[in-house]
Structure 1
Amino acid sequence: MVFKVYFQEKVTEVPVRESTNSIYIEADTEGEVRLKLKDRPYNIEYINPLQGAYLEYEKQSVNYKVLEI
């Protein structure tokens, strides 16, 4: 399954919409996503599982690239 992770670049940053970034990660569970990102200094805001039509919509985005971690 592919997950879209919304995050801030630094753990100390307060979540602000204008500075939120996102990445796509393939994993089986949300917990596995968190384990894959634990060595990065991200302040994870939200992890969204992508399925069906929503996944197809995201695939059309120019920023869609699943990270291999």
Structure 2
Amino acid sequence: MIYKVYYQDTKVRNPKREQTHVLYLEAADEVAARAAVEANTPYNIEFIQALEGNHLAYEQENAEFTLTEF
């Protein structure tokens, strides 16, 4: 399944909506997605959203849609 991970670049500062970034990740489940991001980045994860069906198709039309591999 593909997950959309909302994150901040650092865990030091308080999260600000304007500084939220997104990455797309393929993983078995949400727990595996969180573990992969935490093990390979210094990011502060805000939210992980599963993408499927029409929502996934819409996100894939976005020019910024690329799957991140660690």
> TM class by shorter-chain length?
over 0.9
- Give unpaired runs (5+ residues) of structure 2: none
Q: Kindly state the Cα deviation for residue 37 of structure 1 after the two structures are TM-superposed.
A: 1.2
Aligned Cα RMSD in Å? Answer: 0.8
Distance 1:43 1:5 in 2: 10
Who is 2:45 aligned against? 44
Q: TM-score, normalised by structure 2?
A: 0.92
Q: TM-score, normalised by structure 1?
A: 0.94
Partner SS state of residue 38, structure 1: helix
- Give unpaired runs (5+ residues) of structure 1: none
Q: Kindly state the Cα deviation for residue 28 of structure 1 after the two structures are TM-superposed.
A: 1.1
Please identify runs of 4+ aligned residues in structure 1 that moved more than 2 A.
Answer: none
Count matched residues: 69
Partner SS state of residue 57, structure 2: helix
Who is 1:33 aligned against? 33
- Matched residue type, 2:61: Q
Q: Kindly state the Cα deviation for residue 13 of structure 1 after the two structures are TM-superposed.
A: 2.4
